[in-house]
Amino acid sequence: MDDTDKSTTKATQQFDTSRYVRDEYKDIVTIWMLKAMLKLDCHRKFINTKDCSFSHNEIANFLGLGHFIDVGKKRFKKELIMEAMSSKYKQLTNDKPIHKKTTLDKNTDKMSEMLGLEIQEATILKFVVLLLSVTILDQTLSLAREVFKSQQTMQVISVLLDIPWRRTKELLSHGSKLHKTSLVEMQSYAYDDFGDAITTVNEKFLENMCEQDGDILNTIESIVSQTSEPELILRDYSHMVADIDVLVNYMQHATDNRTTGANVLLYGLPGTGKTQLAKTVAKVVEKNLFEVNCIDTQGDAMRDQDRISAYKLAQGLLSSKSSILLYDEAEDMFDSYQGSLFSPQKKQDNKAWINKMLETNSLPTIWITNDINSIDNAIIRRFDINIEVKIPQKSHRIKMLKKYSKEKLDDETIKQFATHKHIAPSLISSTAKVVDSIKPKFVAKTFKHILNNTLQAQGYKKIKETTKDDLPQTYSTKLINTTADISSITKGIKTHHNARLCLYGVPGTGKSAYGRYIAQYIEKPVILKKPSDLQSKWLGECEKNIARAFEEAADEKAVLIFDEVDSFLGDRSTARQRWEISQANEMLVQMENFDGVFVATTNLLSNLDKASMRRFDLKLEFRYLEPYQSWQLFCLFAKQFGIDKPTKATQHIIKSMTQLTPGDFTAVQRQSRFRPIKDTKNLCDRLVDEIRHKEQDSEKIGFV
């Protein structure tokens, strides 16, 4: 330390020790500092006889040696200084009666009772807490050695606390109670400062141990805290009844019987209600749920190592309370222990540590992750139960929206919201809570606004204004031009509820619309996937999206439609990239295993993989409208537009168009929103324009 303000150092009695340590710990800290000087030879570095000075004037003042500062050679005598320190040490150690219990004593006693610590273990814990809390003590002990490794550190502790060396080594070993709970951990590296060779839970824990006199759980609140009441109930998870039943029964048995090594992993997309599920299960089995904190009291993210220490301490402190522990963002812990190609031995050691931890934890633990892929399979299989918490199917989302909106949303609005596949239980409940608290004038508008903000923040699309499940009023299967009997096909699908159809043909012929019609006819929901819904810039993500789409359809018992299926089911023999083959393989596997109605549409049948052809139960070509169909549809649209009755001349023109499709009529209809149709001639002219564009597109394009 720099020697500043020398005028005050001579008056030792004026030195304010409370700047360095609370008054209740002054005596014990002073005893340890003096003992280090007298028995650990710290005085050798502390007393500089050549320069007649101290290495640290602050330490000198703290120990009552301020009157030796700046006194010159005649009065600065090492023997006198040593005698003064020895006299003070005897005075402090011989004082009777023993001082009353400090806050640290009380907290250590409570922790010893909960963890079953012996007297010597408790003494070491108190020492470490004060060492890491009182800088001047650490500075003094750092004078004992040039560097500190675990061996030298334990030797210092042995001398200071009068615990035999072998016993000290045993109490601080890796298998010791102090180490297992992360209360005291010895570092294997060499350090210049004594305190750096020892670690404990975190700084807030040290502060609470020294200053907070009360429930020991409040002392560890910076690392582990009791969770709040759940916002959801078990019925909100009725879409995963089988999993819930197993989970509840297992946690009940594990907590009642104090089962060792009880671990459950909940995984799934963010917002699916994993944390709420853990809270709900704990409430059902009537046990307290404690969570290993992710952030500290300052609002900063806790380091992975600090969270691991917190977990280990909680396992010890809460094991007698018949509670459940919750560890969110578990991927951070397990990913931290994966090691690397350049440290294979460390990787093996870390895996062994994790395996042992999952086999010996005394407190049943629920682990939560949003990223199951970041956890090694060898670790995943160590969990007793692995449960994917999914977003519920549309029918269940409708029920939840009705329940949590307290019937303030009409059925049409609820159906619109529920159509979005990422409306998760936790999103519904949190949105409802906000809406209920602010009591807006327009409930539906506010509800949707909050939902959309969260969806957008998560990287998802906003809720659409209208759903596309409903077919246009003019839709009729009689307007489909194909060789097969559409009516009998639809009736057959309703009877068997299992079909894989490939609808191919020119654009606009109504392939996707027929898929939606099938869903409507057999009274099933529809899931429509376009290439933009499934493709991803990340390698392997498209395959996962394909699998999720089939899984979603199976869960909701929905008709699954893939538009432009050639994007994923291209001919593998002509593939240039490995991912093209991988996507086609995934499509073929999912199609083979899907037990429902799957409709694939394509404008390019020749581009499909040859193996896919045998996996489709029916390949159905959709052609341009026949002349009578074109005329029939024209009359329907004319009536819908409320224009004059078509003439025979118009009929002749319409029937002469050989490339008309239902899509052309739909395009004209959309156009009419900003360009009204005046009469049948105007409608006919618009359709002629649509055909003309097709003819232009079909011509070869050259360069001059």
Contact yes or no for 81/68 (Cβ under 8 A): yes
Confidence of residue 124 (pLDDT cuts 50, 70, 90): very high
Per-residue pLDDT tens digits for 247-287 = 999 999 999 999 999 999 999 988 889 999 999 999 999 99
* pLDDT greater at residue 175 or residue 59: 59
Confidence of residue 53 (pLDDT cuts 50, 70, 90): very high
634-640 mean pLDDT: 91
Cβ-based neighbours of 153, under 8 Å, separated by 6 or more: 186, 194, 197, 198
Map tokens 């538009």 to a residue.
563
> Which 3 state secondary structure label does DSSP give 587?
helix
Give the whole-angstrom CA distance, residue 678 versus residue 665.
Answer: 15
On the question of pLDDT at 96 being above 60, the answer is no
Backbone angles phi, psi at 101, to 5 degrees: -65, 135
Map tokens 């675990």 to a residue.
150
* Poorest-pLDDT segment among 93-97, 104-108, 491-495: 93-97
Q: For residue 95, what pLDDT is reported?
A: 65
Q: For residue 520, what pLDDT is reported?
A: 92
Residue extents of the structural domains in the chain: 14-210, 223-337+345-388, 394-458, 486-622, 627-697
Give me the CATH code for the 486-622 domain, please: 3.40.50.300
Cβ-based neighbours of 283, under 8 Å, separated by 6 or more: 229, 230, 289
Q: How many residues does the chain have?
A: 704
Instruction: Please classify residue 192 by burial: count the beta carbons closer than 10 Å to its beta carbon, then call 0-12 exposed, 13-18 middle and 19+ buried.
Output: exposed
> Which 3 state secondary structure label does DSSP give 622?
strand
* pLDDT greater at residue 469 or residue 33: 33
Q: For residue 350, what pLDDT is reported?
A: 61
pTM: 0.69
Q: For residue 9, what pLDDT is reported?
A: 41
Give the whole-angstrom CA distance, residue 319 versus residue 44.
Answer: 47
Give the whole-angstrom CA distance, residue 140 versus residue 193.
Answer: 10
Question: Right CATH number for 223-337+345-388 from 3.50.4.10, 3.40.50.300, 3.30.870.10, 1.10.599.10?
Answer: 3.40.50.300
Task: Say how many Å lie between the first and final Cα of the chain, rounded.
Answer: 85
Per-residue pLDDT tens digits for 456-466 = 998 888 887 65
Give the whole-angstrom CA distance, residue 391 versus residue 273.
Answer: 8
* Poorest-pLDDT segment among 68-77, 318-327, 338-347, 370-379: 338-347
Angle between helical axes of 425-438 and 274-284 (0-180°, round to 10): 90
Confidence of residue 169 (pLDDT cuts 50, 70, 90): very high
Cβ-based neighbours of 426, under 8 Å, separated by 6 or more: 231, 232, 271, 272, 273, 275, 276
Beta-carbon neighbour count of residue 49 at 10 Å? 11
On the question of pLDDT at 357 being above 80, the answer is yes
Give the pair of three-digit tokens for residue 312. Answer: 């280990």
On the question of pLDDT at 153 being above 70, the answer is yes
* pLDDT greater at residue 6 or residue 63: 63
Q: For residue 335, what pLDDT is reported?
A: 63
Contact yes or no for 510/662 (Cβ under 8 A): yes
Residue 443's identity, in one-letter code, is: V
Domains 223-337+345-388 and 486-622 in one fold? yes
Q: For residue 339, what pLDDT is reported?
A: 42
Confidence of residue 245 (pLDDT cuts 50, 70, 90): very high
Per-residue pLDDT tens digits for 663-682 = 999 999 999 989 999 999 99
How many Cα atoms occupy the beta-carbon half-sphere of 560 within 13 Å?
25
Indicate the pairing of strand 224-226 with strand 185-186. Answer: unpaired
Give the whole-angstrom CA distance, residue 626 versus residue 259.
Answer: 73
Backbone angles phi, psi at 608, to 5 degrees: -75, 150
Confidence of residue 607 (pLDDT cuts 50, 70, 90): confident
Contact yes or no for 412/423 (Cβ under 8 A): no
The fraction of the chain above a pLDDT of 70, given in percent, is 92
